[in-house]
Amino acid sequence: MRIRECYSLYKRQVPSGKVVYYYRVYDEDGKRFCGHSTGQSTKTAANEYCKMLIREKRLTPVKRGKALTFEEFAKGWWDYETCPYLQSRKERRPISKGYATQGQYAVKNHLVPVFGKKRIDTITENDIDTWLTNFRQGEYTASDKKTKSNYKGNTANLVFKILKIMLNYAVKKGLIKTNPCKYVEMVSTDDEKVIEILTPEEEQKLFPVDWRRIWDLPQFYVLNRLASISGMRRGELLGLRGEFVHENYIDVCAQYTRFGYQDVKTHKPKNIPIPEKMYEELKMLIEMNGDGYLFSRDGGKRPIHRNYVYRALYQALDRIGINEEERKRRNLSMHGWRHFFSTELEMADIPDSRAREVTGHSSRKMRKRYNHLDNLRMLDVIQLQERLMEQEAGESDRAETGLAAAQGGMAEARSEGREPEGPAKEGAIKRVRGRFGKTPEPESAPVMKRGRGRPRKEAAKV
């Protein structure tokens, strides 16, 4: 029995008179595709061409049919329970429900209004590049209306990444040949919010010995105190249970978000060391809530809602003199504790590898975004600068005094009809050299005369 090859070759004469080899292939249902040219005039070369297509998995062409519009293709995308892409990711590195929700919002409000009626095989690199630039500037059509609000660079890039993921999946499924997002560059993120972290003095005011005049509940006080010395994320704090607290450290292995109790953001549990005083304060909450959620008001069954946590922090800031206007200007929030602690680690010269074990940052580049070593906090550098300026001022005063004395000595000598000599003259030369970088030549120094031959030295006439 003869086994059928995955392709067959045949010759065809093209209008120019040249003989070219074509190949035929069959789909998974056994139906034959139309012939496709190899562009080769010999059978050997045609076979090599087909083998190359097999290696690149391009031998079988994409079925011709009615191409989907982007709106048809996007239907059901980012649904956490039914989206085929998300289901395939569960076997690899799962995507969080939060990111899936962002994807649904981006598709509905930003992508479908722009690309919805276009066939996905007609979307070009220029289409996407133009859209991304206009999206950044708030000048694109959405929901049949032209938006006038400018979007941050990070927001524009997030929506672009979501589109790129979707079109990559379309390539994988053979719906399009290449991803038009491949060579489109993301926009600048220079406009992201600048966070001005709390100073050590402000941090001390937030956590005085009599903390009850700043915080209404011990849960709010301990939660923010722990955030300030650990850099834990809000979800990690709300997800902390009594069973994860130990005498010298705490286990950070889960978080509590609006989607419930789930894995931490990085999918990598970590241990964070805590001092004895922090452990004593956490024990106070363990006595209230047992092994359940520590920051809870119902005996550990559920953590406090995040909105109450925000409100408690804003109220505490107001009580130490940071009103709403200043808080918004400085972008102070719960996440600011993460920036605060990362900066303190940097100032304490904690090695980067050890610091990232605590903060959970995946790279040095990411951690640097959380460091705020501004001039107000670099006290040791400022003190050194002031000391150097004082030294320079002292040397300048001494130089002026010495120069004045030398000039006085020279003037006195000339008034008596004699040339200045000794310390007065030497001092004047040194001061002039120090001020202008060049020492004047004494009058008795030999001079150089250049004639037609080699230069020769002659003594100057006195």
What residue type is assigned to position 384 of the chain? Answer: L
Written as one letter, the residue type at 285 is L
CA nearest to 201, candidates 320, 318, 314, 319: 320
Closest CA to 152 of 135, 176, 171, 169: 135
pLDDT at res. 373: 55
Per-residue confidence (pLDDT) for residue 357, from 0 to 100: 79
Neighbours of 392 (CB within 10 A): 10
Contact 174, 62 (CB under 8 A): yes
Residue 447's pLDDT is what?
47
Q: What's the number of CA atoms in the CB half-sphere (13 Å) around residue 292?
A: 14
What does the pLDDT read at residue 92?
Answer: 80
- Is 239 within 8 Å of 293 (Cβ atoms)? yes
The domain 70-172 having CATH identifier 1.10.150: the answer here is: yes
200-368: CATH topology is hpI Integrase; Chain A (1.10.443)
| Closest to 250 (Cα-Cα) out of 228, 232, 273 | 273
- DSSP 3-state assignment of 94? coil
- Domain boundaries, given as residue ranges, for the chain: 7-55, 70-172, 200-368
Cα separation of 239 and 256, whole Å? 5
Residues 6+ apart with CB under 8 A from 128: 160, 163, 180, 181, 184
Strands (DSSP E) along 88-193, which ranges? Answer: 141-142, 145-146
Tell me the C-alpha distance between 414 and 85, whole Å.
97
- Triad 426, 427, 429: Cα angle to 5°: 65
Q: How far is it, in rounded angstroms, from Cα 264 to Cα 244? A: 14
Q: How far apart are CA 370 and CA 347, in angstroms?
A: 12
- What does the chain come to in residues? 462
Average pLDDT along the chain, 462 residues, taken 10 residues at a time = 71 87 76 80 90 80 69 93 89 84 93 92 92 75 50 86 95 90 85 78 93 95 93 93 92 90 86 91 94 94 94 96 93 90 83 78 60 54 65 61 58 58 50 43 47 46 40
